[in-house]
Structure 1
């Protein structure tokens, strides 16, 4: 982001924060309007503005530090946690107050029509609605507090059984465990990480795959956890690919050579983990004299570096091969994969994290990320071609998860019709 763009962004953050602070302040005024002690009321108002204005400047300074450093470190993440928690909490409160303001203005408009300018009556805010607004806003507040303390380690196993008519008989019942988006630099609680890894190991799948974003920026971020993640073993191997963060594109490097050296080191880290890194290539997974083809591409994504070369990765494959593709960004499936003349049966992706925030119930599935990615979590099928988007093992920027929990995926391949 250039200097002018950064300045505009910081001004917008300040104005937005001030607007939210002012609107929520209206409910505080309503609740304290009958307080007998004027000094006590003014003291409460002063404390409110000192605290929330201070937080606003703290957030702005943090964003400035992020722009200057070119990366988000753990200290930045803590500030972003506070900022997002307050913004979502305040927005819920503002929805109630704004709704009340619409009604109040309509009532004032009707009184103007009926009585003229001198007879306009502008209703005061009601205490009960301010109490309701503040009470309901405690729900997202408590959810975010849980998300940044416990939710980011609330690992969940998602299982899918997918049927294919042309699956080789030997692979009927074959299982694949997938994790994605470790973002090693964000982790601090390695014991919690090990619990997630142990959960992945406990699935005892035939094949293990990792679909990109091993680190945030630096190759050495994974080093404290090499022993943990290298415990993952599968009878038919462990395979991995590159994600958009793995290139170091979001960091200001002193020179191009340092960036290249970091990427080369990152590729070696995959080998140290015991993962075979697929860089626009494919391998044959053989079982009982039959085989399936596992294809892996470098990152390809709309709005991100599209370095992956699918054609190169599939050179030498036959149209009749049963193929599984590892591609980090699910937008690749929409643009190049699902309509490819050389059929790819199943694509495994990650990247979206489900935005680490949303609602997933049997009735409702929603996250803000759906306005950017139509396929952002779970299984999708078009014309017999499947995409599965993993919600991510780790987290980035916002160091928490609310409603969209870290995921371990288990795919079972079955022979036959759905």
Structure 2
């Protein structure tokens, strides 16, 4: 981002934060009026602006540091946690205040035009509406607190059975465990990581795959956790690909050579983990004299770099081969995979994290990320070709998960009879 773009972004953050603070302040002021003491009312209002005004200044200062260094440190991550928690809580509060404002304005208009009022006068805010707004907005507030304390380690196993007419007989019942988006630089507690690793091991799948974003920025981030993730083994091997964060594109490097050296080191880390890194290539998985093709491409995503070469990964494969593709970004499936003349039966992706925030129930399934990615979590199918999007093992920027829990995926391949 250039200096002008950064300045515009910071100004937008300041204006947005100020607007939210001002609107919620209307409820604070209304509730404060129930106090008899004017001094108490003034103290509450002053305390509100000191706290939330100070938080807004913290936002701006931290975003300035991010724009300079390009790196999310522990302190910047803490700010981002507060930013999301406060903004979502305030937006929920404002929904109620705005609804009341619509009613108040309608009442004022009716009084002005139909009751021959001498002026356009808004009725006063009702204390009970402001109190209700605070009570309801406490739900997302405590939801975010839970997500930061416990949700990010609330690992869930998602199982899918997918049927294919042309699956080789030997692979009927073959299982694949997938994890994605570890973002290991965000983890601080090895015990929390081990909880997810133990779940992955417990699935006892035939094949293990990792679909990118091992680190946040630097290859060194995985060093303290190599022995733990190397514990994941599968009879038919462990395979991995590269995600957009793995290239080190999002921080400032002292030189081009330093960035290149980091990437070379990153690729060697996969060897230490015992993962075969697939770089626009394919490999045969053989069983009982039959085989399937496992393909892996470098990151290819709309807006996140199109490094991967699918044609190269498909080289020497036949249209009759059963193929599984590892591609980090699900937008690749829409752009190049699902209508490819050399059919790919199943694509395994990650990248979205489900935005680490949303609602998933049997009735409601929603996350803000759906406005960017039509396929943001779970299974999708088109033209009898399947895509599975893993919700991610770790977290990034916001160090928590609310409603969209970290995932270990188990895919079972079955032959349709």
In structure 2, what is the equivalent of residue 378 of structure 1?
Answer: 378
Q: How does 1:73-112 map to 2 (within 5 A)?
A: 73-112=73-112
Instruction: Return 5+ residue gaps in structure 2 as ranges.
Output: none
In 1, Cα distance between the equivalents of 2:256 and 2:117?
A: 69
In structure 2, what is the equivalent of residue 204 of structure 1?
Answer: 204
In structure 1, what is the equivalent of residue 46 of structure 2?
Answer: 46
Q: Secondary structure at the match of 2:114?
A: helix
Range that drifts further, 7-16 or 290-299: 7-16
In structure 2, what is the equivalent of residue 315 of structure 1?
Answer: 315
Runs of 4+ in 1 over 6 A off after TM superposition: none
Residue deviations 1:379-405 (CA, integer Å, cap 9, x gap): 001111000000000111111111000
In structure 2, what is the equivalent of residue 359 of structure 1?
Answer: 359
1:387 aligns with 2:361: no
Give the CA deviation at 1:117: 5.3
Q: How many residues get paired?
A: 417
1:306 aligns with 2:306: yes
Q: How does 1:165-204 map to 2 (within 5 A)?
A: 165-204=165-204
In 2, Cα distance between the equivalents of 1:393 and 1:44?
A: 42
Q: Secondary structure at the match of 2:400?
A: coil
In 1, Cα distance between the equivalents of 2:400 and 2:313?
A: 35
In 2, Cα distance between the equivalents of 1:59 and 1:116?
A: 48
Instruction: Return 5+ residue gaps in structure 1 as ranges.
Output: none
In 2, Cα distance between the equivalents of 1:369 and 1:209?
A: 24
In 1, Cα distance between the equivalents of 2:21 and 2:242?
A: 42
Q: Secondary structure at the match of 2:293?
A: strand
Inter-CA distance 337–120: structure 2 relative to 1 (3 Å threshold): closer
Give the CA deviation at 1:263: 0.5
Q: How does 1:124-273 map to 2 (within 5 A)?
A: 124-273=124-273
In 2, Cα distance between the equivalents of 1:121 and 1:187?
A: 55
Give the CA deviation at 1:114: 2.2
Give the CA deviation at 1:120: 4.1
In 1, Cα distance between the equivalents of 2:111 and 2:251?
A: 59
Give the CA deviation at 1:116: 3.9
TM-score w.r.t. structure 2 length?
A: 0.99
Q: How does 1:49-60 map to 2 (within 5 A)?
A: 49-60=49-60
Q: How does 1:337-348 map to 2 (within 5 A)?
A: 337-348=337-348
Q: Secondary structure at the match of 2:11?
A: helix
TM-score w.r.t. structure 1 length?
A: 0.99
Q: Secondary structure at the match of 2:136?
A: helix
Range that drifts further, 35-44 or 406-415: 35-44
Residue deviations 1:209-243 (CA, integer Å, cap 9, x gap): 00000001100000010011000000000000000
Range that drifts further, 151-160 or 109-118: 109-118
Residue deviations 1:295-352 (CA, integer Å, cap 9, x gap): 0000001111101001111111111100000000000000100001111000000000
1:32 aligns with 2:40: no
In 2, Cα distance between the equivalents of 1:27 and 1:88?
A: 16
Give the CA deviation at 1:70: 1.0
Q: Secondary structure at the match of 2:408?
A: strand
Give the CA deviation at 1:95: 0.3
Question: RMSD value over aligned CA atoms?
Answer: 0.9
Give the CA deviation at 1:34: 3.0
Give the CA deviation at 1:415: 0.6
Residue deviations 1:36-90 (CA, integer Å, cap 9, x gap): 2111110111011000000000111111111111111121111110110000000
